[in-house]
């Protein structure tokens, strides 16, 4: 499936003048997702920046039906909605194409607070897409660290840098053996849209995680949201892959990095531009820490390349 | 219709967050002579406020993030500092 930007529809999920920060990655990602899924969709959201972006009642920046649900119930709510629709179609009370049901949740909502419900829905193979837009912190409440915050990154609750590694949630979802799991990046929009379109046409549980560099929390200029997304992929800090029923395929350029056909971009180019790593710049352990981060990147690349062999 | 309940139901509108153009400190200005029509600015703009057909920018809502300028491969968009309002 090749995607041409010119052929994408004009239709927008996010209307101009939302309450999101200027340059918000969630808004960019959701606009792209809308162009892949189309109008016939219902979105569920857990508390997050994406909810705060809606604007005050009675206005909404989103053009499709949206349900705000609590953190713990993302898995159960989307599953219930999908099952209710199935029942209505079965009874003939609804006809035509079933709307795509999807969750739009942050990393806090996915990795940490909502995880048990999402895991249960994945195990039951309920029919919806769970999107995680991963801005690597609890942004809406003031940038507290989450299970997705990378090691060494400073947040308001890890002012000296996080001391432990992030979880690998896409991998955990993969090992639920669901029909489709993918990672995506704002800087590779045609890859992202292709993956969302693919997920739309598969019945059962789908998980797509979109890396979402947040300039407010990571402390870089708002104009660099997409640039930071690109550097994350080019340095190997964010890996692009997809898996149908557990069979992993690495996507370009991650596949080229793993095969050592291209060299990763220098890590300092990525983290050096983010204020959340500023404490490393004049740390006596700077070289040691950079080497450890690069080693971790190589480990993850090797791990996913080997997982793709299975 | 005797239902007098008030539902917490919002409706989609432009400017749900207000006239967000007033947030801008720099304004994107596009030189259509340089533009190749690749539509990357249209796709990347978080506000969706760049026209797909004519690349016109809706300054009532453009927040001035500068992503369109940073991503334009033809350098057809420059960010110009806003004068004092
Ligand atoms: C059970 C519960 N705990 C805490 C909160 C407060 N809260 C609202 S939004 C939010 C942050 C969510 O982070 P994430 O899911 O990563 O989304 P982001 O804000 O980063 O977009 C928190 C902790 C809540 N609403 N409900
Ligand atoms: S804090 Fe980050 S994720 Fe939240 S609205 Fe602002 S830019 Fe978007
Ligand atoms: S990104 Fe630049 S070249 Fe491409 S459509 Fe926009 S203004 Fe034109
Ligand atoms: S500055 Fe930002 S909001 Fe304004 S048109 Fe460019 S990308 Fe859109
Ligand atoms: Mg988050």
Count Cβ neighbours within 10 Å for each residue of A76-114 and write b for 16 or more, e otherwise: bbbbbbbeebeeeeeeeeeeeeebbbbbbbbbbbbbbbb
Residue B37: CATH number of its domain: 3.30.70.20
pLDDT of res. A65:
97
A166-184 tens-digit pLDDT:
999 999 999 999 999 999 9
Task: Report yes or no on A122 lying in a domain.
Answer: yes
Chain B nearest CA to A56, separation (Å): 7
Taking CA atoms, what residue in B is nearest to A19? B17
Nearest to A61 by CA among B63, B21, B49, B14: B14
Write the Ramachandran bin of A152: left for phi over 0, alpha for psi from -120 to 50, otherwise beta. Answer: left
Provide the shortest C-alpha distance from residue B63 to chain A (in Å).
5
Residues A27-84: tens digit of each pLDDT: 999 999 999 999 999 999 999 999 999 999 999 999 999 999 999 999 999 999 999 9
Structural domain count of chain B = 1
The predicted pLDDT at position B1 comes to: 59
**ipTM here:** 0.96
Ligand 5: distance of its center to the CA of A105 in Å?
8
Task: Dump pLDDT digits (tens) for A115-168.
Answer: 999 999 999 999 999 999 999 999 999 999 999 999 999 999 999 999 999 999
Q: Which domain holds residue B41?
A: 1-85
A268 domain residue, yes or no: yes
Which residues, 6 or more positions from A96, have their beta carbon under 8 angstroms from its beta carbon?
Answer: none
Question: CB neighbours (10 Å) of residue A279?
Answer: 15
| Domain that includes residue A156, residue range | 8-309
Residues of B in contact with A22 (CB under 8 A): 20, 23-24, 46, 63-65
Domain contains A149: yes
Flag whether the pTM goes above 0.90: yes
Whether A299 maps to a domain, the answer reads: yes
Closest-approach residue (CA) in chain A for B45? A28
Residue A166 sits in a domain whose CATH number is 3.40.50.970
DSSP code of residue A285: T
* Closest ligand 2 atom number to CA of residue A106: 3
Q: Residue A18 carries which DSSP code?
A: -
* A302 domain-assigned: yes
Residue A3 lies in a domain: no
Dihedral Cα A123, A185, B81, A268, nearest 10 deg: 110
Query: Which residues are near ligand 1 (CB < 6 Å)?
Result: A 47-50, 71, 105-109, 113, 135, 137-141, 146
> Which residues does chain A have within 8 Å of residue B18's beta carbon, measured at their own beta carbons?
17, 19, 55
Considering only CB atoms, which chain A residues are within 8 Å of B48? Answer: 12, 14-16, 31
Nearest ligand atom owner, CA of A114: 1
Q: What is the mean pLDDT of residues A256-265?
A: 98
- A2 occurs within a structural domain: no
What is the mean pLDDT of the segment spanning A190-197? 98
Residue A80: inside a domain: yes
**CA torsion through residues A28, A34, A37, A43, sign:** positive
What is the total count of domains within chain A?
Answer: 1
Instruction: Tell me how far apart the alpha carbons of residues B26 and A258 are, in angstroms, rounded to a whole number.
Output: 40
Of B23, B40, B67, the CB nearest to A225: B67
Residue B85: pLDDT above 80?
no
Q: What is the pLDDT of residues B14-37, one digit of tens each?
A: 999 999 999 999 999 999 999 999
């Amino acid at each position: 499936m090749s995607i041409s930007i010119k052929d994408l529809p004009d239709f927008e999920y996010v209307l101009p003048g939302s309450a999101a920060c200027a340059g918000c990655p969630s808004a960019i990602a959701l606009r792209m997702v809308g162009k892949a899924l189309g109008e016939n969709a219902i979105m569920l959201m857990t508390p997050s920046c994406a909810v705060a972006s809606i604007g005050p009642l009675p206005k909404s920046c989103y053009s499709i039906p949206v349900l705000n649900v609590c953190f713990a119930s993302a898995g159960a709510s989307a599953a219930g909605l999908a099952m209710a629709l199935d029942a209505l179609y079965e009874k003939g009370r609804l006809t035509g194409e079933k709307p795509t049901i999807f969750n739009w949740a942050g990393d806090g909502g996915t990795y940490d607070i909502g995880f048990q419900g999402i895991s249960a829905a994945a195990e039951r193979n309920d029919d919806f897409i769970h999107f995680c837009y991963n801005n690597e912190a609890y942004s809406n409440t003031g940038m507290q660290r989450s299970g997705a915050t990378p090691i060494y990154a400073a947040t308001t609750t890890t002012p000296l840098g996080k001391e432990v590694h992030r979880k690998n949630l896409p991998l955990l979802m993969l090992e639920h053996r669901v029909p489709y799991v993918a990672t995506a990046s704002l800087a590779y929009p045609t890859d992202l849209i292709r993956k969302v379109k693919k997920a739309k046409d598969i019945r059962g549980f789908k998980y797509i995680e979109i890396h979402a560099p947040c300039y407010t929390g990571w402390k870089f200029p708002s104009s660099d949201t997409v640039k930071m997304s690109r550097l994350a992929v080019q340095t190997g800090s964010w890996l692009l892959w997809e898996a149908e029923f557990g069979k992993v395929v690495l996507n370009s350029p991650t596949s080229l990095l793993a095969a050592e056909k291209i060299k990763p971009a220098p890590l300092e180019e990525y983290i050096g531009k983010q204020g959340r790593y500023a404490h490393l710049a004049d740390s006596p352990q700077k070289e040691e820490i950079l080497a450890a981060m690069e080693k971790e990147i190589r480990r993850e690349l090797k791990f996913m390349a080997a997982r793709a062999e299975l | 219709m005797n239902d007098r309940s008030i539902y917490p139901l919002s409706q989609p509108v432009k400017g749900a967050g207000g006239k967000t153009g007033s947030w801008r400190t720099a304004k994107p200005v596009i030189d259509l002579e340089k533009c190749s029509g690749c539509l990357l600015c249209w796709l990347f703009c978080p506000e969706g406020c760049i026209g797909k057909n004519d690349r016109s920018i809706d300054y009532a809502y453009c927040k001035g993030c500068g992503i369109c300028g940073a991503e334009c491969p033809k350098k057809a968009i420059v960010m110009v500092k806003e004068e004092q309002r």
